[in-house]
Structure 1
Amino acid sequence: MFILSYWFSRLVAADPGRKRFKTASKATISVITAVVIMLIVLKAAGSSQITAAILAGVIGLMGILVVNDETTKAKKVTTGLVALSSAVSLGIGSFLSRYGQAENVFLVLLVFLSFYLQKFGIRYFSLSMVAFMSFYFASILHVTFSQLPWLLAGVIVGACCAFIYNFVIFKDRPANVLRSSMKSFHIQVNLVLDLIIELIQKKQIEPAQIKQYNRNIKKLAEYARVASEELGNTDPHDIWPGVTAEQMRLYVFDTVMLLQTYSPAIRKLSELKAFNHFDIQQLLLKLVESIREAEVLNENPTHSLTDAAQHLQELRQKLSELEPQDKRYKDWLYLIRRIETISNHVIDEAYELQQAIVKQEKQPQKEVEEKEDEEDNDEEKGLKPSTKKSIQAVITAVATLIFGSFLSPSHQYWALLAGYLVLLGTETIGSTFVKAVQRSVGTLLGAAVGFVVASFVSPGILEITLLFICVFMAFYFFPITYSFMSFWITMMLAFMYDMLLGGISESLLLARVLDTVVGVGIGLAVSALVFPKKTRDKITDTSVEYVAALKEFVHTYLHRFTKQYAFANLADKGMELEKKLKQLHVDSDPIIKGFVGRSRLQQFLTVFTAINYYAKHLVASSTRNQAFYKEAEFHGVVKEVEEKVASNFTQLEKALRGERGTYVYTIEDVRQKIEQSLDYFDTSVQSRNLQHLQLLHNIYYVWKINQSVVHLAKELGAEEISSED
């Protein structure tokens, strides 16, 4: 029963904000509506131009998927221009069809423009993409002027369907997306808490349980990023009156931090037999269960946070009874205190949210000093990335057209399309290789399954239904994995060929697979030989960006100790660091999945992950609102730490770029100065001692970050020196 409940919750939470479901549904329904309307019109007119109905479906699909402008108004304009772009492309295609190679020249030109115009904005890419696909459609069907009127009618029908579903029936409702995102987040939180309860109850934790827990934590971090992004688009006050975006972000951040803290702590507690202490085990169970049952965003919660606060207090009371010096407890008592501290943050943030919802008062947003984006005036030497990519695309297009004409003259554009798509959205040789493999494998499996299924299904309602299911599945899984999309698209094409040609042959599907492999192979070869961007170079760029963001993050954190009215929105900056770390893992994926050099890169990523973990602890610090120190002595210490750590970040950036002569500070001597200045026996300086201890506590994880930075820099050849040098 638990397994069924777990997988049901897993399915519900799998699509934060239901974005994938909404996009796939819109695309599928738009295709169905456009095709049906066009078939009705054709039948009423007594025409047999079924290609017009297919084109209507294609435009209905692309009008949903390629229109990605920032504002709704801009999206509406682009949707109208999609119809114009398609119509012009079809007209040119029908005109050039009589001039042989002129058709191929224009197709190559469209390939160039679709990549080159990306630098001017997403709209130009969308229009070029539609023009390319429309011309591709006209070329493979050898459209003539006599067919053009019905095809133009299909374009209009498809664009109208896309417009209606995008902006009328399924128009964007940011509030609903945020609500769904938070629901998915809470479902995933409860799934992780269920796993934690299992870990606490187990006498011995199995490796499989740890793996399952880590997988769910990764998913939770992804859901937290989605929710944080939606908070940038929607004011939560519109859904939960009284709640600010800042409060919500901090609550989300603290919750993820809590659950990331639980796993290593509980695993260590289990190893040290801490759960043999029955009271500790039961108190932790009660605390976790009460947090799981709390309904934070419910105006009238059936389970309030009172129980969680009460169990937390009971845990504190128990901790106060245990002597840290006692040999039975000293090895694991600090772990319980760590859980208690982070749990306290989550309960406090959740309680603030509940109280804000109950009071329903509009809270003033704190003014955060934002830096104006500095314009990058440094002109990039040589050709710009968009120009390089468009040249790669042109060479790929020409090569695939040549090879395609020899492999399958009747379907020479299949290889071109495969090569075009494998270059789309890839920056490095490694990412192109991964996408090429995914497309080849997806196409091969899709062709095999599609052929088998089509052979058992007669053309009719069932096959049409399966075709539309394939459309939905392709675009539902597209954000997850490209191979899944290729699989479903190839299955859809198998059904389409079966209906249009009255049957499907093995030779046709084999030609489809072969052309795909040749196309992606040529695209990969061109990306490796013409203006190649090495995967490691991209990893270096992303790493430098992460270190720069981390430098600003730590500066903001330390700045609060010397500036009385400094406000630091560390939750937002923490989420930004999380995004950059995610991108670093994505960029590293091609090497991690390979065999050459992955061991050192994995160690490199482990250190960056540890740094990110320490940075989260800074956000979860107990002094997150006001941490100003009045004494000048403290200002000097903090300033010295800030300068040395900032220098280390700069030196690490240089080391990552391969520069020599870099150096880093350990700053351990600064820490020793603070610790040695403590005088526990002089009652006249107790207040000063307390501030020293508080300072040590507040910047403990700054030292942990600096240790990791020093370690990375030394691995890259930097020299370690004392901060006094």
Structure 2
Amino acid sequence: MWCPTLRGSAIAALYDKGRTWLIGSDPGLLRLRMATRTTAALGCSLVVMFLLTKATGQPLTVALLGVVITMIASRSVNEPDPRQQRITMALLPLPGALSITLATLLAPHNIAADVVFVAVVFGAVYIRRFGARGQALGMVAFMSYFFTLYLRANVKELPWLIVAVAVGTVCTFVMTTYVLPDRPETVLRSTIRALRARMAIVVDTTADAVRTGRLDERRRRRMRARTIRLNETALMVQGQIEDKANPAMLYRGVTAEQLAPWLFDAELAIEWVATAGRRAVALTAEIPVAARDELTIALAMLSRAIRFPEDGGLREAADQAQRLLEAPDPAAGDAEGNAAVRRLALAISNAATATAEVRAIVEGAATGRAPEAADTPPPPDDEPPQQGLRQTTRQAIQASVAASLAIVTGELLAPARWYWAVIAAFVVFAGTNSWGETLTKGWQRLLGTMLGVPAGVLVATLFGGDKTASLVAIFVCLFCAFYFMTVTYSLMTFWITTMLALLYGLLGQFSFGVLMLRIEETAIGAVIGIAVAILVLPTTTQTTIRRDTRAFLNSLSDLIEISTATMFGGDETVSPTEQARQLDRNLQQFRVSAKPLLAGVAGLAGRRSIRRGLRIFTACDRYGRSLARNSERYRDPVGAEALSDAFTSAAAQTRRNIDTLIAMVDGASDMTVYCATDDLDAAECRARNHAGEGEPDPDIRRFLSAVHALRQIERSVVTGAINLGALDRLQVEAPTAS
């Protein structure tokens, strides 16, 4: 018999999960906010310029330039500090006016105009070395010159084109500063809510695996991807705390130094749940069905409690896990199955406690009961000197060569539409660090264009003759393009291509041949950009990988040093948690650089090598964060002074092994790694002897957790070095540092 109550519960559960996925898919609603603001600024600019051109008798093309500048200003001006954003906005009309003037005066002289265009391309890329402001100014200079040539503007239109640039900038400024401004504290609250959603998604994925007792490769990839997204969202929260938001504005008395470690603990606890869940699923055959059901219930309770902490369900989830911990061992099956059940139950209990502590401390801060924050000096801002050409100089030369070839080839194919080839050749260098990334961006642009053409033909045919519907559809396409811009480049290109078909239809220039020509010109520009990236001053993906590998390993070595100093009263320049976040950032950068190789650029052997390295680095990152948090909480117990000697010796040897691994990455041979197993075993034995027969006190447990984390890091580093050809030597005494 069907029960309406059960049906309502199922619908409510489905609604809750859908809401969680929606919140987690766009952390802090940043993409939605950006797309809405940019589209609104475009609409405002279009209305103002349309009225202005109607009143002055200027062509509609003048209004289009204002819209383009609005789009560039909205997307390019992204400094964290609002004051710096306003300065950049005020500067934008200067390069725009200069480029428009040059293009207008040189338009009748094709060769001179093309030569200056190449110089503008060089300057637009070269100026990126000055950060976000340089990138914004360079992009405005490029687009202003480009569209002025494309519109074939004459000298009489020059003042109005400059006015269009000013109008576009002002509309962007008004939308950004007054109508839809960034409110850092509101974004922080939304991002923390998204972090909770990501945590719940990871727990739901773990619960599904435990319930079914299956963890095939597809489910394993899904769990790994969702754990990575959880870490990315946590980094986003950290970025908000560091650069923009003041947590005290949301939670009275809570500082950034307090909030970051609390969220860090909760993230680690959820990752532990996922790890323990995978181990439990691997032993499904040895765990009774009843125990699996209890674990699934506990995970479901934890997931709901994380999504809705105000309901107070975290305590219930912890109690459910505690009942499993207190159950007799035979109820859980054999020894290994029992250990897996207890491990997962303990992880659930710890996750419930960690997330409950964050809520309790924040609520306590709201009533003025927050603990004192420790003073942490800012991290040093030391930039190592670069060898050879800087990346911006290298890319400026590459982009100039690519633009030159695109101009010549594009004009040979279609003298009136050569600009698509130049655009494709120019943009493939934006945000890339190697020819592998350029290749990825090039084919994504081509794919988006090829898919966008048939969609554009269909939409333009449907809305043909209806100007109002076409205009609405154009803004919908623009909104979607901006919304999906940071998701995947091919999606953004798809929506832009669809929008162009609608725009040509609105202007009476639509034809299937024009859109096919866009595919051809885009393919030419993308191929030229990729070829230049490979042949002209190439920065290979392997070179970028080696650079990012060194950065990650150096951060890992620093983390071990800082954590050891924190545990035993040494001098540290930054907190272990902050250094752990830097390790996270370096891992994320490694993933970005390795993406082209994982996509197949390096061949099968290269993919296997990169995947193996990524697994090793992911393990080092996970255990490095565990080491950081345990070191911050550890207080050297009275009478346990001998613990520091063995741990410090093991940490020093691990750092020497990291140096060996860095040397191997740089091409050294005949290197040897010396395992720190003896020192780690000695540290663990001394800690257990100090604890005696009873239950270890919290500091001894933290010390043992730190030893375990350092042991896993050391094993990973030694494995990585041996994979590269290092020799392994076990010694009772580690060699002294040179």
Deviations 1:629-678 (CA, angstroms, capped at 9, x unpaired): 75553332122112211111111111111122322111222244456779
Q: Retained in 2: the 8 A contact 1:165–1:171? A: yes
Distance 1:122 1:277, change over 3 A: closer
Name 1:53's counterpart in structure 2.
Answer: 63
For residues 684 and 223 of structure 1, the distance between their equivalents in structure 2, rounded to whole angstroms, comes to 42
The match for 1:702 is 710
Partner Cα distance (2:280, 2:382) in 1 = 49
Q: Which moved more, 1:706-715 or 1:153-162?
A: 153-162
Cα distance per residue 1:243-301 (max 9 Å; x no partner): 343443333333333333333433443434454263x4465345434433436997xx3
Q: CA deviation at 1:347?
A: 0.8
Deviating more after overlay: 188-197 vs 461-470: 188-197
Q: What is aligned with 1:466?
A: 473
Deviations 1:568-627 (A, max 9, x none): 843333332222212211111111111342122212212222222222332454972424
| Alpha-carbon shift at residue 702 of structure 1 (Å) | 0.6
* SS of the residue 1:368 aligns to: coil
Cα distance 1:363–1:659, how it changes in 2: closer, same or farther (>3 A)? same
Identity value in percent: 26
CA pair 226-26 structure 1, distance change in 2 beyond 3 A: same
The equivalent of 2:504 in structure 1 is: 497
Task: Please give the alpha-carbon distance, in whole angstroms, between the structure 2 residues aligned to 1:455 and 1:244.
Answer: 57
**Is 1:69 paired with 2:76?**
no
Residue range with higher mean Cα deviation, 658-667 or 187-196: 187-196
Q: Distance in 1 between matches of 2:691 and 2:23?
A: 59
Per the alignment, residue 174 of structure 2 pairs with 164
1:438 corresponds, among 420, 429, 444, to: 444
Sort the Cα spacing of 1:335 and 1:654 in 2 relative to 1 into closer, same or farther, 3 A: farther
Structure 2 counterparts to residues 23-62 of structure 1, below 5 A? 23-45=34-56, 47-62=57-72
Decide which of 288, 292, 297 is 1:276's aligned counterpart: 288
Cα separation, partners in 2 of 1:343 and 1:401, compared to 1, 3 Å:
same
Identify the match of residue 199 of structure 2 among 175, 179, 189: 189
Structure 1 residue 401 displacement after superposition = 1.2
Residue 98 of structure 1 deviates from its aligned partner by 2.2
| Distance across 2 between alignment mates of 1:694 and 1:355 | 21
Alpha-carbon shift at residue 29 of structure 1 (Å): 0.9
CA contact under 8 A between 1:297 and 1:354: conserved in structure 2?
Answer: no
Partner residue, 1:487: 494
1:699 partner SS = helix
- The residue number in structure 2 matching 1:638 is 647
Question: Would you say 1:401 and 2:410 are equivalent positions?
Answer: no
Distance in 2 between residues matched to 1:443 and 1:226, nearest whole Å: 31
Change in Cα spacing, 1:24 to 1:539, as seen in structure 2 (3 Å) is: same
The yes-or-no answer on 1:245 pairing with 2:249 is no
User: What SS is found at the alignment partner of 2:728?
Assistant: strand
Alpha-carbon RMSD: 3.1
Does structure 2 retain, via aligned residues, the 8 Å contact 1:52–1:153? no
Provide Cα deviations, 1:155-198, integer angstroms capped at 9, x if missing partner: 22212111100111112210010011011122232333334344
Structure 1 residues 202 and 506: alpha-carbon distance in aligned structure 2, compared to 1, 3 A threshold: closer
1:593 maps to 2:570? no
TM-score where L is the length of structure 2: 0.89
Structure-1 separation of matches of 2:213 and 2:321: 23
Structure 1 residue 685, shift from structure 2 partner? 10
Q: Is the counterpart of residue 225 in structure 1 residue 235 in structure 2?
A: yes
CA distance in 2, matches of 1:679, 1:225: 36
- Pick one of 20, 27, 32 that aligns with 2:31: 20
Which residue identity does 1:372 align to in structure 2? P
Contact preservation (8 Å) 2:691, 2:697? no
Shift of 1:519: 0.8
Q: What amino acid does structure 2 have at the position aligned with 1:101? A: I
Instruction: Determine helix, strand or coil for the equivalent of 2:583.
Output: helix
* Cα shift at 1:210: 4.5
**More deviation in 228-237 or 424-433?**
228-237
1:508 corresponds to: 514
Unaligned runs of 5+ in 1: none
Equivalent pair of 2:280/2:340 in contact (CA under 8 Å): no
Conserved 8 A contact 2:657-2:718: yes
Q: CA-to-partner distance for each residue in 1:297-351, whole Å, 9 max, x for gaps?
A: 97xx332543344334434433xx4389x98234432552364156326514532
Q: Say if 1:687 and 1:509 are closer, same or farther in 2 by CA, change over 3 A.
A: closer
Larger CA deviation: 637-646 vs 250-259: 250-259
* Range that drifts further, 181-190 or 707-716: 181-190
Q: Residue by residue, what CA displacement relative to the aligned partner does 1:667-693 show, whole Å, maximum 9, x if unpaired?
A: 22224445677997x999999999988
> Mean alpha-carbon deviation: is it higher for 689-698 or for 158-167?
689-698
Distance 1:200 1:525, change over 3 A: closer
Q: Is residue 2:359 matched to residue 1:353?
A: yes
* 2:5 paired residue number: none
Q: Does 1:624 align with 2:633?
A: yes
3-state DSSP of counterpart to 2:155: coil
Q: Which residue of 2 aligns with 1:367?
A: 375
Counterpart for residue 463 of structure 2? 457
Kindly indicate whether residue 344 of structure 2 is the aligned counterpart of residue 344 of structure 1.
Answer: no
Residues in 2 aligned to 1:291 and 1:688: alpha-carbon distance in whole angstroms = 27
Q: Matches of residues 521-600 of structure 1 in structure 2 within 5 Å?
A: 521-563=527-569, 569-594=575-600, 595-596=603-604, 597-600=606-609
User: SS in structure 2 opposite 1:664?
Assistant: strand
Q: Which moved more, 1:109-118 or 1:79-88?
A: 79-88
Following superposition of structure 1 onto structure 2, how do residues 100-179 of structure 1 map, counting pairs within 5 Å?
100-179=110-189
* CA separation of 1:8 and 1:634: change in aligned 2, threshold 3 A: closer
Partner of 2:482: 475
- Separation in 2, partners of 1:245, 1:397: 46
Number of the residue aligned with 1:603: 612
Tell me the CA shift for residue 3 of structure 1.
5.4
Q: Is the 8 A contact 1:243 1:353 kept in 2?
A: no
| Distance of 1:557 and 1:439 partners within structure 2 | 45
- 3-state DSSP class of the match of 1:414? helix
The Cα of 1:390 is off from its aligned counterpart by 1.0
Distance 1:338 1:572, change over 3 A: farther
> Which residue of structure 1 aligns with residue 319 of structure 2?
310
**Secondary structure, in 3 states, of the residue corresponding to 2:428?**
helix
Amino acid at match of 1:710: V
Is the alpha carbon distance of 1:688 and 1:405 closer, same or farther for their aligned partners in structure 2, counting shifts above 3 Å? closer
C-alpha contact 2:121 2:403 (8 A) present in aligned 1: yes
Report the CA distance shift for 1:568/1:153 in structure 2 as closer, same or farther (over 3 A): closer
Question: Secondary structure of the residue that 2:633 maps to in structure 1?
Answer: coil
Q: Does 1:80 align with 2:90?
A: yes
SS at structure 2 position matched to 1:720: strand
**1:613 partnered with 2:622:** yes
CA contact (8 A) 2:449 2:519 kept: yes
Q: Distance in 2 between matches of 1:115 and 1:537?
A: 21
- The aligned residue for residue 719 of structure 2 is 711
Q: Does 1:91 align with 2:101?
A: yes
- After TM superposition, the structure 1 = structure 2 runs for residues 264-303 of structure 1, keeping only pairs within 5 Å, are 264-270=275-281, 271-273=283-285, 275-276=287-288, 278=290, 280-281=291-292, 283-285=294-296, 287-294=298-305, 301-303=310-312
Alignment of 1:402-441 (within 5 A): 402-441=408-447
* Aligned-partner Cα distance in 2 for 1:654–1:683: 40
Q: CA deviation at 1:67?
A: 1.3
2-structure distance, mates of 1:630, 1:339: 33
